Amino acid sequence: MDQVKDTSEKLEKAVFSKPFTYSRLFLSTFIISAFTVGGGFVLIPLMKAKYVDEFGWMSENESLDLVSIAQSAPGAVAVNASIIMGYRLGGILGTFTALLATVLPPLITLTVVSYFYDAFATNPYVRMFLKGMQCGVTAVLLDVVLGLLVKQVRKKLALPLIIMAGTFIASYFLKINIMEIILVDAIIGFFLMRDPQYN
């Protein structure tokens, strides 16, 4: 059993071995923030593609855990996620680096939009541009949802699927407050998902 664990750790280290730099953290986070159109949930696939798949700075499970923490904290998901991931990757300096890179793109964009607001508000091409982006964001979010669903189905574990179905029903059909649903999900996870098979 120990030999299998050692082999698994070696494989993980071999996969997640790209060097970390603050300049790379700033640039990648800046780009992610610039393309986070449609809300903080778009961060999930973008951060996974950059930090997990391309750079290998963390595992997929770890990135999802950090995003879950960011979603449960007060404030904007994008800012929360950048703070917690920046700290995880580079400590306090990483936090400020990621935070600055996250805040700058919307700050620049909103400054320009507010300055030329009348031209943007009445321009039909801008409206078509925004509608096209909304369609793309919808597809990205759907890809994330389906990816997470397939991952849970492959594990063949009933409890995560029950939680997912129950959460959807409670939110979509019963219109229960999302924070109450998340709190119940967290309590269920704390008491019923301690087994290593759920990791």
Buried b (16+ CB within 10 A) or exposed e, 56-65: bbbeeeebbe
Answer for the pair 42, 113: CB distance below 8 angstroms, yes or no. no
Of residues 13 and 73, which shows the higher confidence score? Answer: 73
Domain boundaries, given as residue ranges, for the chain: 2-147, 155-199
> Distance between CA 46 and CA 173 in Å, rounded?
30
Tokens of 72: 């449960």
pLDDT single digits (tens) 106-135: 899 889 888 887 777 778 887 888 788 778
DSSP codes joined into one string, 38-94:
SSGGGHHHHHIIIIIIIS-SS-HHHHHHHHHHHHHSSS-HHHHHHHHHHHHHHHHHH
- Mean pLDDT for 22-30 is 93
- Mean pLDDT for 147-160 is 82
Degrees to nearest 5, angle at CA 108 with 106 and 111? 100
- What pLDDT is stored for residue 14 in this prediction? 38
- What pLDDT is stored for residue 199 in this prediction? 62
Query: How high is the mean pLDDT of the chain?
Result: 81
